[in-house]
Amino acid sequence: MIQPVSEFSPHAPWPLPQGVVDLFYQDAASKRALEGELRGCFRAWSYDELIPPSFEYADTLAAETGIQLAEEMYRFTDRDGRTLALRPDLTIPAARVAATRLYDQPMPLRLFYVGSVFRYEAPQAGRQREFTQAGIELIGAAAPAADAEVLALTVEALRAAGLVQFQLALGQMAFFHGLLAELDAPAPALHGLQGALDRKNPADLAAALDQLAVAGPLRQAISALPDLQGGPEVLARGRSICVNPAMAAALDRLAAIHELLLAYGVTDEISFDLGETRGMEYYTGITFKGYTPGLGFSICSGGRYDDLVGHFGRPQPAVGCALWVDRILLARQRQGWQPAPLRPEALWATGACPACLRLMLDLRRRGLRVELDTAGAGDLAQRAARRGAPHAVQCDGDAVTLTGAGQAQALTHEQLAETAATW
């Protein structure tokens, strides 16, 4: 992958801000191709594209996002003194559109998007301050079948992206919220507990429980969460720590989802993690993150957010997933994925010959890359070889020379058209 010039490079006369990059040549082509593959996958499952604005009122975008994401938003003021923000996420715009623009449409809504999002965070491998999010939102469907569809489509999308090794860790916020309902504690302390669980650090978790003065069976139940990872047997282990009916109901739903995932044939790519908690406040049911070997961060995340749409209008149940396109590009590169070469099919030298120009246009309309040679003098075949083009075409009026595989042959325009039809 080409490494863009950064602001720290001695060769950067016009440096970029931290966290943004220039993409060109193979990097740009690979990214656009991946975006196209994901769009095609989403459309095949009957999802329709949504293109929201890049910025909105800051209060709108901060709705229900949680403290961390709200702090990472890029805010600015317009000429009227109103505070705007670049979108840090695309789920919230989708929820707003569903509640305010599409509320009278038949439910459920199936929406997808592919676009840039912006977050002020420390740049590192696979993490930028401007990055591309591709995602789906299934709005107006509350049944386990909706959760299973989003999970199965996420697996299908990652397969379409070219990943051969990945795993979705499936959690259940309703199970976790059932535990929190037993705690009488202020929100900051609960956030600390959630963070300790997310880090899966035993010392941090013990300290958070000490701060909350949690003891007895409830402490044992919370302490057991980080170890509740694995296959469907995790659900039986989870039942052993249920302290109220809400937790049992959450596990019942996961069991129903698992049965559907078996039918989809995607259970090899999905495991359970009942200690999975999320940073965004709007998740109410299942949550999940996708991981792949060699990366220390997730490549996708999603979940159920039944209360978010109602923040903007009529309440609707909803579930969705966001895939991080830039991270997927990095992941598949590390898995040995090889991009298609960027090269023209033919380097073509011709003057104002109508027959050759028409044939060039026909080939381009077929989707082939045909490059017009503008150098004029010199060896056309050598220039084609430098460009990686397997064919060189020299047209001098009625005389046409086709060079390929080290051989040159004289052809008529009709013979050239017949040969080019096989490319």
Q: Amino acid letter at 23?
A: L
Give the per-residue pLDDT at 170: 96
List the chain pLDDT tens, one digit each, 423 residues: 444 444 445 555 788 888 899 999 999 999 999 999 999 999 999 999 999 999 999 999 987 666 677 888 999 999 999 999 999 999 999 999 999 999 999 999 999 999 999 998 776 655 689 999 999 999 999 999 999 999 999 999 999 999 999 999 999 999 988 988 888 888 777 888 888 888 888 898 999 899 888 888 899 999 999 999 999 999 999 999 999 999 999 999 999 999 999 999 999 999 999 988 765 578 999 999 999 998 888 999 999 999 999 999 999 999 999 999 999 999 999 998 888 889 999 999 988 889 999 999 999 999 999 999 988 778 899 999 999 999 999 998 778 999 998 899 999 999 999 999 999
Give the per-residue pLDDT at 33: 95
Say how many CA atoms lie within 13 Å of 36 toward its Cβ.
6
What are phi and psi for residue 288, nearest 5 degrees?
-155, 155
Which has the closest alpha carbon to 372: 400, 344, 397? 344
pLDDT in tens, 42-99: 999 999 999 999 999 999 998 766 667 788 899 999 999 999 999 999 999 999 999 9
Q: Are 152 and 44 within 8 A, CB to CB?
A: no
Give the per-residue pLDDT at 2: 45
The CATH architecture annotation of domain 346-420 reads: 3-Layer(aba) Sandwich (3.40)
Q: List the domain boundaries for the chain.
A: 25-334, 346-420
Give the pairing type, strands 318-324 and 370-372. Answer: unpaired
Distance CA 256, CA 147 (A): 10
CB-CB neighbours of 323 under 10 Å: 24
Taking 3-state DSSP, the helix, strand and coil percentages for the chain, each rounded to the nearest 5, stand at: 40, 20, 40
pTM value?
0.89
- Sheet hosting strand 270-273, strand order edge to edge: 48-49, 109-118, 130-139, 318-324, 300-304, 286-291, 167-172, 270-273, 229-230
pLDDT in tens, 184-194: 888 777 888 88
CATH superfamily, with its number, for domain 25-334? Bira Bifunctional Protein; Domain 2 (3.30.930.10)
Q: Are 408 and 401 within 8 A, CB to CB?
A: yes
CB-CB neighbours of 197 under 10 Å: 23
Give the pairing type, strands 270-273 and 167-172. Answer: parallel
Q: Are 250 and 134 within 8 A, CB to CB?
A: no
Distance CA 64, CA 49 (A): 23
Q: Where are the alpha helices (DSSP H) in 144-232?
A: 144-160, 173-180, 187-199, 202-211, 216-224
Distance CA 323, CA 318 (A): 17
CB-CB neighbours of 416 under 10 Å: 20
Q: Are 279 and 68 within 8 A, CB to CB?
A: yes
